[in-house]
Amino acid sequence: MINKQDIKIAIIASGSKISKEDLIKKVNSLDENTKHMIYLKLKDMLTEKIYKLINELSLIPKEVSRIASNLKIDSAVIYYVYMEKLNNNKSHK
């Protein structure tokens, strides 16, 4: 289920110019394998660079943009998918 608050956060955090409607369309067009792969890439990046990211928070959007560029997916979609998977994982525990 699409969470409107998470959509706002994803767009603001990423600095993306994507509309809410386009973000929803793009998220809905992704299959579960792609969403899981996005989640794992972002999780791995955050885990691998945690100390550097804590000291320099401005690196997080840059790293997300790099991942988004490599995957050819808008960075707001990357943020949203990560938050969605994170929330789903928490609710299943």
What pLDDT digit, counting tens, does each position of 8-66 carry? 999 998 999 999 999 999 999 999 999 999 999 998 888 877 767 677 777 778 888 99
3-state secondary structure the chain: CCCHHHHHHHHHHHCCCCCHHHHHHHHHHCCHHHHHHHHHHHHHHHHHCHHHHHHCCCHHHHHHHHHHHHHCCCHHHHHHHHHHHHHHHHHCC
In the chain, where are the structural domains located? Answer: 4-91
pLDDT value at 79 more than 80: yes
